[in-house]
Amino acid sequence: MRLELGNIRIEDVKFGSKTEVKNHTLYVNKEELITLLSEDERLASVSIELAHPGESIRIMPVKDVIEPRVKVDGPGGLFPGFISKLDQVGSGRTHVLKGTAVVTAGQVVGFQEGIIDMTGPGADYTPFAHTHNIVIVADPVEGLKQHAHEAALRNLGLKAATYIGEAGKNVEPDEIKTYEVLPLFENAAKYPNLPKVVYVYMLQSQGLLHDTYYYGIDVKQMVPTLMYPTEVMDGAIISGNCVSACDKNTTYHHLNSPVIYDLMEKHGKEICFLGCVVTNENVTLGDKQRSSNMVAKLVEFLGADGAIISEEGFGNPDADLIMNCVKVEKKGIKTVLVTDEYAGRDGASQSLADADQLANAVVTAGNANEVIYLPPMEKLIGYAQPADIIAGGFDGSLQPDGSITVEIQAITGATNELGYNKMTARGY
């Protein structure tokens, strides 16, 4: 499967009379977009503001972040199962508005929601302090249930990103990058002397408000399956969960997964990238055993020499991570794990809830329990009150002057387990 990504560099975002891209500036018709998003009867109000890198702005509580993209050529469309029909995606050509993002916020849905500071010490922990953000604050009608509230905000973000992405459809990209993985036997035959690598892509699916979607289906309802790497670049995987903000894979993270992009860059040069095994994270022991058995079987069936396994979330998913690792290793296939740590505020506690001697190659995205002081900002987009109850916060986190003291667990993307961050650790 072959996909061309046309990256359009966006250096500024402004409101304008027409939604379009001119001279690396994205103009957004605010009123038109609000009218489109207000069609959802589950929402009582919708407002839109802009947040640029370096501005004294705090956005919270953050639900999701989505990068605007548009399908220019080829089958299917963006975000299949939500915005476009359930066609196969991942081939043809897609344009990307690089440097900008849609951020959804509003009244808190679940307690695991996050903070984005556009400047100050908090900005060093989130990639979204460095994007030009179109922030949509939407509040629900009175009495709306949590799941309906989350669904409304999820759809709102995808609709907004699709509307904005259309502005790049007829724009000549600044660069075009091509990504291609051939069908399995052709792929292996083309690179017979390179080590064959599989990516095991673990998706959050543990309980209430812990949902991720693959072609529109909640992955709780699926068993491990195979995916071309380019499918994720067209939005085949959508975030719909309220896990801790630091290691939640937003939709933006899925669209830009560093594991997939880095493996694609090395494909045909240092490795033969066979593709992805997409799997869920489960609650019950039986479900964990079923999925991990199938993961190991698929990795072996593909003929892999090595596997990279990434986690989403922490605690209970650590068991899924270690089960996948151990069962793949026992097939004679070497693994590398990508996770983060909850090692206590002093860093002295056990980092993961599960462990095994076979899990001896691990990349960490940092310790989510590290405490940080976030000074007051000149402007708040959203609501500050949830600071005391979101994961990483505590009673007294929010001070009268607007400053917040929290664990970095509360910062969106701080310890992202796809590696889309700046943090790690080195063992001695």
Q: Residue 293 contacts by C-beta under 8 Å, 6 or more apart in sequence?
A: 327
At 125 the three-state DSSP class reads: helix
At 271 the three-state DSSP class reads: strand
Are 94 and 67 a contacting pair, CB within 8 Å? Answer: no
- Of the candidates 408, 309, 407, the residue with the CA atom closest to the CA atom of residue 358: 309
Are 233 and 208 a contacting pair, CB within 8 Å? Answer: no
Say whether 246 is catalytic.
no
379 vs 402: CA distance, rounded Å: 10
Tell me the one-letter amino acid at 191: Y
- Rounded to a whole number of angstroms, the CA Rg of the chain reads 21
Residue identified by tokens 């994961």 is 391
Segment (H or E) for 161? helix 146-165
**How, if at all, do strands 43-51 and 132-140 pair?**
antiparallel
Active site residues: 242
